[in-house]
C-alpha cells in the first residue's frame, strides 16, 4: 500500500505520520507546502512561489503522480486540487 500525506503539514503531522508509517513497513510519503517559521520536516516541500504557485505545483504533482497512491491523508480541509 502506498499512502500520500499533505498538502498541509500543520504541527508537522504529515511528515511525522509518513515517517512512522514507513517504520511500520508502509510505503508513505509527505508532499507539502512550507509550514512557515517552524519549518516542520516533510519528504518533499513545494518550492516557494507564492500561494498561487503552491496550488499550481500541488495540482500538477497530483494530476501527474496521484494515480500511483492507494490512499491519501489530507489535512486542514485542503486537497491537492484545492479546498
pLDDT value, residue 51: 65
Q: Is residue 51 part of a domain?
A: yes
Range of the domain at 17: 2-74
Asked, for residue 55, whether it belongs to a domain, the answer is yes
pLDDT number for residue 50:
64
In a domain, 81, yes or no: no
Domain-embedded: residue 24? yes
Q: What is the CA radius of gyration of the chain?
A: 12
pLDDT band at 82; cut points 50, 70, 90: low
Domain annotation covers residue 32: yes
The residues, ordered by sequence, that sit 6+ positions from 70 with a Cβ below 8 Å of its Cβ are 1, 2, 3
Does residue 83 lie in a domain region?
no
Specify the higher pLDDT residue, 55 or 7: 7
For the chain, the domain total comes to 1
Amino acid at each position: 500500500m502506498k499512502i500520500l500525506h499533505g498538502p498541509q503539514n500543520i504541527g508537522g503531522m504529515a511528515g511525522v505520520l509518513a515517517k512512522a508509517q514507513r517504520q511500520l513497513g508502509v510505503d508513505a510519503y509527505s508532499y507539502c507546502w512550507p509550514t512557515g517559521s517552524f519549518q516542520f520536516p516533510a519528504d518533499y516541500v513545494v518550492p516557494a512561489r507564492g500561494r498561487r504557485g503552491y496550488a499550481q505545483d500541488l495540482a500538477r504533482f497530483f494530476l501527474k503522480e496521484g494515480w500511483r497512491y492507494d490512499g491519501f491523508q489530507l489535512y486542514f480541509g485542503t486537497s491537492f486540487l484545492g479546498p
